[in-house]
Structure 1
Amino acid sequence: MNNNWGTQSFFIIAGYTYRKVSRKENEMELNEKIKDYWEGEADVYSRGIQEELNGPARQAWKELIGEYLPAERNLKILDVGTGPGFFPIILGEEGHQVIGIDITENMIACAKENVKQWGQQAQLLTMDCQNLKFEDESFDAILCRNITWTLDDPKRAYREWFRVLKPGGSLLVFDACWYLHLFDESLGQKYKEREEQIRRKYGRGIHAHADEEKGRVLSKRLYLSDKLRPQWDLDCLLKLGFSKVFAQRDITDRVWDELGRELNGLTPEFLVGAQK
């Protein structure tokens, strides 16, 4: 009998047949869940960057990024996990050539609308940042904001980014330990108390996601959620061959407004930088 199961592995318990799921299949399933989740968050995040573009965060991010990039204009920059297009807009205003990628079609659709609305031009592509479709040594700089924590395989992503970065090029990673409180009992208690305060005051949770519970469940499965960062990132980037790595462990006061600091004070934004 031809069951068309190929090389798949099966086992039988109490008369029921089960298929053994490989590690690769688990990774593919998780990546699809991540993609599906962020497809539903595009509108929420698009509204968020509109607030940033109309407020002091716009200039604050320009100044911070400018401290770590070469002074010349027209750098070729890859914005990984561009979301609704914040970096392509502000870096386009500074005269750079920006390519923004995101794994979610809805985020890219929002990014195209926002970039056009703000009078900028950028190449915006749907692409998995762990499997880039660019030639080696294509970019002067690579930037990302709040994306590495969402990846199912951040080591592979960093390896890919190293590959497409030109020699001497810069990598700037902005992120936070957003869900470490799920694994740290002391931090978890502080987080619970802070969230109760936020709900009483603002009628919302700390993270303004479209589906908070779905995000919480998914975040428990993500590779970086229980890691102590930015130390993990520094170690990883050194092993990959970057010639110089550095970190600022808290850039909160540089880029967040008063509300952002109140909401996310327990998970400060950090910067990890590296040079190839």
Structure 2
Amino acid sequence: MEIPHDMSESETAAQPILPRIRRYWDGRAEGFRETRAFEFAGPLKVRWLAEIEPAYRAIAAKRNTGRLDVLDIGTGTGFLALLAATLGARAVGVDLSEEMIAAAKRTAEELSLADKTQFYVMNAQALDAFEDAQFDLIVSRNLVWTLPDPKAAYREWLRLLRPGGKLLVFDADYGAVSFTNLTAELEADGIENAHEGIGETRLNECDEIKATLSISRERRPAWDKATLEALGFAAVDADETLSRRIYLEQDEAWNPVPMFVVRAEKPAL
């Protein structure tokens, strides 16, 4: 696999909202690292693995190989990429945030998975450093809701998949909620959740950024399903029961916004 270059500051400057988004997630990196470490050490790891392993095994059986090329877009501190590596994948994770990528690399070292993973700073909407049809499986968790141009991102991800490859998008309709208000309500009731302790200032910033994004005005996952089908993806399925399988405990990783998974394939030649 060709080694791509990390995205420079000049590349983000051309898109005015991206530097603000990048700064926000840079500031969240250490907290994310702690939450994802909690997930990786407990039952959540097994539950998330069960979401990606069937797709991985199905593709591997068709390719007659146990080692696939997997791309985790919006990898954050590397959670899904590291899970893919435990399946034997050549796993690559990309994220807009330099701090997130630095944390992902540290986590990979700590889990002795650094030799099976690569992490780069990149814009999910423009992954020009990667060649066409370079990956067998693309996964993404809690990213699409943050993108200024999610349709462009989906188009790019289709380009990167090999024929017969699969896409798994794990996300939620975050545009329909206020993180500030929801978190305040949960904390008032003493309910532990993934946003606890982030702070009102930072949550307000997230809500303000979210309000500028067109994806926040779409209802999901209906929008994702229609967009993926229009772009040429096949076998598109929107499953809104994800949270029922993942979040069985209200602990420090619990996401109070119901999550979904959208599954799709790139048509075979």
Tell me the TM-score normalised to structure 1 length. 0.81
Match of 1:272 among 244, 247, 262: 262
Q: Mapping of 1:68-217 within 5 angstroms?
A: 68-71=55-58, 72=60, 73-120=66-113, 121-132=116-127, 133-182=129-178, 192=181, 195-202=184-191, 206=195, 209=198, 211-217=202-208
Gap runs ≥5 in structure 1: 1-24, 183-187
Contact 2:167 2:265 (C-alpha < 8 Å) held by counterparts: yes
Runs of 4+ in 1 over 3 A off after TM superposition: 191-195, 202-210, 260-265
Of 31, 50, 54, which residue of structure 2 is paired with 1:63? Answer: 50
Check whether the contact 2:170–2:261 (CA below 8 A) recurs between aligned residues: yes
More helix by percentage: 2
Aligned equivalent of 1:19? none
Give the Cα separation in 2 of the matches to 1:91 and 1:100. Answer: 10
Q: Distance in 2 between matches of 1:107 and 1:263?
A: 20
Cα shift at 1:42: 0.5
- Contact 1:149-1:223 at 8 Å conserved across structures: no
Measured after TM superposition, the shift of residue 150 of structure 1 is 0.5
Secondary structure at 1:74's aligned position in 2? Answer: coil
Give the total of aligned pairs: 244
Q: Which of 224, 227, 230 is matched with 1:239 structurally?
A: 230
Q: Which amino acid aligns with 2:99?
A: N
Structure 2: unaligned runs, 5 residues or longer? 1-11, 61-65
State the distance in 1 between where 2:138 and 2:250 align.
Answer: 28
Are the structure 2 counterparts of residues 219 and 26 from structure 1 closer, same or farther at C-alpha, using a change threshold of 3 Å? farther
Conserved? CA contact 2:71–2:81, under 8 Å? no
Among candidates 204, 212, 218, match of residue 227 of structure 1: 218
Letter in 1 for 2:126: N
Q: 2:21 aligned with 1:28, yes or no?
A: no
Deviation at 1:193, TM superposition (A): 7.2
Kept after mapping to 1: 8 A contact 2:169/2:262: yes
- Displacement, 1:198? 2.7
Contact 2:225 2:262 in 1 (8 A): yes
Percent identical across equivalent pairs? 34
**CA RMSD of the aligned region, Å?**
2.5
CA deviation profile, 1:158-186 (whole Å, cap 9, x unmatched): 0100011101100000000123035xxxx
* Cα contact 1:145–1:173 (8 A) shared by 2: yes
The SS at the match of 1:201 is coil
Q: Could you tell me which amino acid in structure 1 is paired with residue 170 of structure 2?
A: F
Q: Structure 2: how far apart are the matches of 1:119 and 1:110? A: 14
CA displacement, residues 51-107 of structure 1 (integer Å, 9 cap, x when unaligned): 101110101111121122334321100000111011122111111110110111100
Amino acid at match of 1:44: G
1:41 aligns with 2:32: no
Equivalent residue of 2:262, what SS?
strand
Instruction: Rate the CA distance shift 1:201–1:27 in 2: closer, same or farther, 3 A.
Output: farther
Cα displacement string for residues 208-232 of structure 1 (whole angstroms, at most 9, x for unaligned residues): 5361121121111122122110000
